[in-house]
Amino acid sequence: MASDVKTVLIVDDSSVSRMMVQNHISDQMPDWQFVHASSGVDALEKLKTVTPDLVTLDLNMPEMDGIEAAQRITEVCPTARIAIVTANIQDSMRRKLQGLGIFFVAVVEKPINEAGVRKILFGM
């Protein structure tokens, strides 16, 4: 079914991390399609041509950090669900994310693993 095929925008400055996210998701959702962005700015550029169902977002990135990127992405593409995949697992960061008023499907710790992907899929 075409509606089951979803598009994922993976935003992370590390290409290895992007590949890890893609591999772990496609392990469970082999039909899903992936678009990569290496920064927040790049993500906004990609959003001009694709409308993803899911965005995975890294927090610690140069230029535009994940928090700002999340806000801009929700403005441009309100239908996309966002999952945070981050190395920053401090409580203060979780509180900050909650304060944004964006409904994140999941906040997942790096490096991503099967359990993390399940958390994201469950949130959708």
Binding positions for another protein, rule: CB under 8 A: 13-17, 19-20, 23, 60-62, 86-93, 110-111
User: DSSP states of 45-78 as a string?
Assistant: HHTTT---SEEEE-SS-SSS-HHHHHHHHHHH-T
**Cβ closest to another protein, residue 77 vs residue 117:** 117
Kindly state the helix (H) or strand (E) to which residue 23 belongs, with its residue range.
Answer: helix 15-28
**Cβ closest to another protein, residue 61 vs residue 82:** 61
Please answer whether residues 44 and 50 qualify as being in contact, where contact means their C-beta atoms are separated by less than 8 angstroms.
no
CB of 48 to another protein, least distance (A): 26
CB of 97 to another protein, least distance (A): 12
Region class of 12: left (phi > 0), else alpha (psi between -120 and 50), else beta: beta
**Cβ closest to another protein, residue 33 vs residue 39:** 39
CB of 11 to another protein, least distance (A): 14
